[in-house]
Each structure stands twice: as C-alpha cells, then as structure tokens.
Structure 1
C-alpha cells in the first residue's frame, strides 16, 4: 500500500471467500469512504485495455437482463440506482428481493454487480442546478462521472441471494440453492447468468443437471469463475466444469495468467483481468479486490453487450463470438491456462464471426445423455431427488466382464486331449527305436574323456 493510500483512506482488509461445495474464491478488500468515488473510475483499466470502451460504440447492454447468483446485491448503492429490476432469495435466510447481503462475505455480490452493470453517479453539490440533477427515472442509466461504471452499464440486473461459506441458518444446502437460483433466473427473463462462485471439486451434484440443462434449452448464457489458486482452487471446479458454461480464467495487471487469482482446466473458455480490480460495497463504499470472481462479470458484461446488439443471436453463437475473437495466448490454440485466449470486447462486438455449428464449450444435454444415461430431448421438470455426490466427468471406463474359472475337462475338448496323447506315444516309440539302433552300432568311445581329445585318429589315405 502506498503512503498516499495511508494518508487519504481508512483502509481495512479481509479475506473474501465465496464458498461452494467445499471450495473457495479469495480476494483482498480495501474499503474507502464514498467521498473518493471519482478516483475509483480511473482504476478501471480493463475498460480500455480489454476493448470495452470501444465496444460501447456498438452497444451498452440496453434491454438485456443479467442474473447475478451470489451473496445478494445492494440495489441502493449509488452506482446501481435503477439497475436492479428484480430479485429473490433461495437460501431461506435472506430478504425476499435478494438485495440483502448474506453468507460469509455479504459484500461479494455487490462487488460483482457494480463491475458488471455499474452506472456511476453524479456527486451532489452544495447548490446543484436543476439541469445537473440526476434523472429520477428508475430505469435510466446514469453513467455519471463518479464511481464504478460497469461493462454493460445499461443492462438490467436480477439478484439471486445465496448463503454460502458458512452454515446456513435457513437450512438449505448448496445442492438445493444453486439449481433453484438458476431456474428462477431463467424463468424471470435472464439472458445471461453470472456465477462468481466456485469449488475445488470438478464434479457437481446430479441435482444440478436439470437446472443447467433447463438454462441451455432456454438459450441462456451462463458465465462462471474458474477459481483462484490462493483460495485452494488449483484446478477449475464446478460449476465452471459443466459443459456449455463459459468459464473465465484470470489475468494479472500485465495481461499474463495470474498466479494467485486464477486456476487451470480444460473447461476454461477465455481469460480476463482478475487483479487490481475495483468494485462497490453494500454500504456505498468501494473496494480494491482480486480474483476470477471479478473476471467473470467482465465477460458476462460483454455477453450482455452482444445480446443487446443482436437480440436474436443464440447463446452458443454469443459464446462462440467471445471465444473466437479472443487473442491467443500461451500455447497456440486452446489451452488449460487461457482457454481460447484473452478477452477482446471490441472484436467480439465488431468482428465478422462465422456461425458455429455447436457451442465450442460443449453441451450439458450431450453430457447427461452419455454420463447419466438420460434422455432430455425436452425441457426437464424439477428433479425428484438430489443425490449427495456427482458422477465423474470422465467417460465411463471399459472393464472386462469377469468369468468363473473353467474346469480342465470342460475347457479342453476331447480332440485336444487325444491329440496330445498321440503325440506323447509317438515320442516314446521314436525314443525306443533310436535306443535299439544305438545298441547295434555303438559309436567310438573316447579313451580319455577328461581331456576332450579324440582317442582315435584315422591315418591318412595313401596316395
């Protein structure tokens, strides 16, 4: 921390952990009074470096609903005024509108929301002129000069609060909350769902299958964080391992794969900034933080920009447009560190991208058909039961079928037995004939077997 920060801000730090199924995402928080809001805008380096400000020439996300499944979003934050248009709680421990922060880190959802769809604000003056007053319209995008401006500042937000990271007083487990949250988001018009939560397990409960399939069949883009090594996620964990989900890895300030604020795995689709991030806090303050929790809403915001520009574009084409325009990094082609490459929002909105035949990140419907042996040709109803463990994501192994040991008399046909008997008899007869010949015509016997020299030498034939 610089001396300037020490002089000008009251700073506190805390571990940010959004736990899901035993895993965690971590980040460092640095809170500051809202009076310094205008300085936070200058820290949003990704708006320019990731091509977002140029992408705004095409779209700002108007008319697209984005659901944030997280700890709850404070719609009263100055930068989110009018942005939150609906919400719910699936934990049985929050408020009905999902706008109360809950769980181990109640501020997490608001941090994510401001980065995705923050609208900034205009700081009030002592004698404001009528023309300078912010519009009271609830749905208007303020785009004020102060505070956080999100990637899709004209998008609308749905908040779904979940209780994660500590024992839930509402009694609902992660297995129940996540599928309920996904279904509610789909049913309430979300075209993009952001899940900045993750786990250290590549597997997911079977109870999640139907909900993610439902979202796929309803043509919804789901974006998930890859997880952070500093939080224990060495490899990508669920739900970011679910086929069809756009998984986001993290970059450091120089644009390289982050050591702490990222992980790796074959399901990664694209990489986005994950260090030196800033976002809003429920009390109206701001924070510096890090993690793929913040990289995910950057990508979700770009998905919202695309869906606003092309409302009829399918989810698989939205994902294809994002990953196919990414700047290749690391190993040539898709790799487990950067996925298809580094996010380029301007190219995603402006480039000529051929249509893809399928989602480049797979399909949960195909996975279920193969691994769960299910038939999901039509949208599925609510699952009747929620098993506590998930099937592995690898193909089922092929195991030889064991057979009972066979008895010798059953295993060897009679013809084989007779054949071996005849062969043995021929050997005995042959040996007897050879012995008889030996006795009739004995060979020359050496006189001195110890020396190894012949005792008899034929004289030379006279010439």
Structure 2
C-alpha cells in the first residue's frame, strides 16, 4: 500500500520561494510571529489565558522532528520505525520530504526563540515525541511501520497522536485495526489530515476514514475550503487553516507551506490545550468539545458538512465552553466497525481424542427370506389379490348365468304361444 504525505506536493512547491526572514534579520521577530494569523483568528491566543498545554504529550508520527532552537526544548523522546533513521527519531527520513515532520511539529508545539520572537506552536508548553517513518525506500513495509509507531506512541505516554499523512485509499490494512484500537483503548486522541486535492486526493483516505479518529480538513485565510490544500468526505470532523502556514525546517529555517498536513497539527495543539485544561476528560469528550464548539464556515449550510465537518475549530471555546459529556466517541466506534465488516472469528475446532470411542453393537439383522417364484401364491397375493378377485368375479358369473337362463325361458315361452300353420 503506497503512502503519500498529505500536502507533500504543496510543501515542496512552497519551500524554496517562501522562506520567511530568519531570527537574525532586522524585524525578523515581528515578521515571523505576525504571519501566524491562526493564533488570533482561531481563538488560540485567547485559550492561552487558561493553558498552554503543559504536561500533555503529542506524538508526531512523520519523517522525524529535526534539531532546531524552536523544537529542541519540546522533544522529550522518540524512535525510528522506518529502519532508515536514527534511534531517537530526530534524523529526518526521506529525500524530498525530510523537513515535513519538523514543519508539522512546529505548528503543534514550537517554543519560539524568545518571548515574542520566532515561530510558536499552538501548544507551546506541550511535549513532543518524534517517531520517524519512511514513505518511500524504507526497508520496513509502511503498514508495519504504522503499527509499530502507534504502539510505541501509546506505550510512551502520548495523549495525542498526529498523523499528517494519507494512503489515498478508503480501506486500510487489517493490521491497523488493533493498532488504532490500542490507542483508543488507552484514551488517546488520534488527529489525522484529510488529504489534498492538489496532490491527487479526491476523497479522504485512510487513516482519515478509520472510525474514531478526528479528521481535519483545510481552509484558506478567509475560512473557505481550500481548493488545493484540502479534500472532502463524510468522515471530516473539523476544519483548520491549511494555507500560508509557517514551519521550522530541520536546519532551523522558517518556511511557508500549505496542506492539511499543517491543519492537522494545529488541531492536535488545540487537543493538547483541552487535555491540559481538563485533565480528567476522556478522549471521546475532548473530541466532543472540539466538534461541538466549532463555528460555521462561510456558506456552510449543513452539519456535519463534507467540506468542513462540524465547522472551523475554535480553541478558546473548546477550552472554556460548557459542553455536555458523552459516553461514546462522536467520530465512530472502530470495534463495532470491525465486528460488522471484518470476517468473524472462526470458532475453535474440537481436538480429536487419542482414545478410541466405544460404539455399542448394532442389533442382529433378521434372516433374509428366500425369494419365491412369482407363479406361486403367497399370503399377501391371496389376501390382497386372489380373494378380492374371486369376490368380485363369482357374483358376476352368477348374475350372467341367471340373465342367460331368464333369456332362454322368455324365448321358449314365446315359441310355444305362436300357432302353427296346417298344410292344405
């Protein structure tokens, strides 16, 4: 199953020409921070008055989070599941998309280079786990990498898992069933990018189609569905900015890029804010808060909507609004889906016994009768054949004889009454 990064084409297009001023350049602090329009427009700065995500771990399953001043303080652990990276998951994997994981991580939890300088993430006090995977040329199959990555993230305390990737297919490998169930059963919120039309994705693909994940679509600065940097589908939960985004590369360079690969970590950061503000809240209720506090997108007429899901994410409302509790994940139940659509488990077959089974003897057969000639009478033939035939035939003969005798008497009587002619 070939895997493609959600937004990788847009990422590559924007990298070279869209570099933002570096921290050492004049006016760089204002230039970088002022470009993060989503911080004010989506209630993130307002939510910071309550929490900045301290104590929450976000696992970035991507190409690896590189070493940069804005990222190093946030990364507290990592691993490589691709067979091509370093044991700590910090060495970028891949030739064309090596910076992708760093860009994703910086949107979620970058620390900035000072109080008001450098790029800052949505949850700047959250912790990051860097899990590097390979999309092409990896010695480990991609499906297996995903299973290993999901389990490692859960086992190392992730409360949020960010997947800025897509397979461009609706279905997923059955091995992912248990991996995602493992995350859900450990109360982890899994945030997934919807994919981009610009990279050939017409409809959302796995893992965005897996029941229970929070799928994120992308919008432009005006809040309209992005023509290139988003796709559509019934599994979309919320929408977030996916155009004119910033990202810190592995070498520390700040670039501008676009794609739902960037919309997803913005929502992952908001999930971290909610989990920090409400530490006792279950994953299902964290998702419920985010989708129920989303605001309608321009021109949005139905909820949920195939382009926007429940609407544009609102961090301030998600953190502070009064939202009734739910008992089930509003984005679906993976276990129930497996029960309905996967082959039912086969019941265990009985184990053959090693001892011979004693079977009671059958009753003795009656002796076979000797076959008789069809010309000789038998009891049944006499009883059901000869006697009925005699009973019917004898009366018929007697009747016939009586009729014949009567006819003769009548004829004789007529003859005696007829006068004879005398000869002259």
Q: What is the distance in 2 between the residues matched to 1:297 and 1:252? A: 16
Secondary structure of the corresponding residue to residue 194 of structure 1:
strand
Deviations 1:52-83 (A, max 9, x none): 00011111000001100000001x31111310
| Aligned 1:250-269 pairs, distance under 5 A | 250-269=218-237
Alpha carbons of 1:33 and 1:344: their partners in 2 closer, same or farther (altered >3 Å)? closer
2:78 equivalent to 1:87 = yes
Q: What is the distance in 1 between the residues matched to 2:128 and 2:109? A: 7
Match of 1:116 among 104, 108, 120: 108
2:65 equivalent to 1:77 = no
Contact 1:249 1:263 in 2 (8 A): yes
| Aligned 1:356-367 pairs, distance under 5 A | 356-367=326-337
Structure 2 partner of 1:389: none
**Aligned-pair distance for 1:20?**
5.2
More divergent stretch after superposition (349-358 vs 289-298): 349-358
Deviations 1:101-131 (A, max 9, x none): 1123100000011110011013xxxxxxxxx
Alpha carbons of 1:180 and 1:79: their partners in 2 closer, same or farther (altered >3 Å)? same
- Taking only aligned residues, the RMSD between alpha carbons, in angstroms, comes to 1.5
User: Structure 1: which 4+ aligned runs deviate by more than 2 Å?
Assistant: 19-26, 30-37
Structure 1 partner of 2:55: 63
Secondary structure of the corresponding residue to residue 240 of structure 1:
coil
**Aligned-pair distance for 1:31?**
2.9
Higher-Rg structure is: 2
**Aligned-pair distance for 1:373?**
4.1
**Aligned-pair distance for 1:331?**
2.4
Match of 2:308 among 338, 343, 352: 338
**Aligned-pair distance for 1:349?**
0.7
**Aligned-pair distance for 1:366?**
1.2
Relative to the length of structure 1, the TM-score reads 0.70
How many residue pairs were aligned?
332
Contact 2:20 2:32 in 1 (8 A): no
Structure 1 partner of 2:98: 106
Q: What is the distance in 2 between the residues matched to 1:174 and 1:49? A: 37
Contact 1:23 1:201 in 2 (8 A): no
Secondary structure of the corresponding residue to residue 256 of structure 1:
coil
Q: What is the distance in 2 between the residues matched to 1:158 and 1:199? A: 23
2:13 equivalent to 1:31 = no
Secondary structure of the corresponding residue to residue 165 of structure 2:
coil
2:184 equivalent to 1:220 = no
**Aligned-pair distance for 1:207?**
1.2
Relative to the length of structure 2, the TM-score reads 0.76
Q: What is the distance in 2 between the residues matched to 1:32 and 1:293? A: 19
| Aligned 1:294-309 pairs, distance under 5 A | 294-309=262-277
Query: Any gaps of 5 or more consecutive residues in structure 1?
Result: 1-18, 123-143, 376-463
**Aligned-pair distance for 1:32?**
4.7
Match of 2:87 among 96, 106, 124: 96
Match of 2:342 among 348, 372, 394: 372
**Aligned-pair distance for 1:313?**
0.7
**Aligned-pair distance for 1:358?**
1.4
Q: What is the distance in 2 between the residues matched to 1:218 and 1:341? A: 27
Structure 1 partner of 2:43: 51
Query: Any gaps of 5 or more consecutive residues in structure 2?
Result: 346-424
Q: What is the distance in 1 between the residues matched to 2:41 and 2:131? A: 30
Q: What is the distance in 2 between the residues matched to 1:52 and 1:279? A: 17
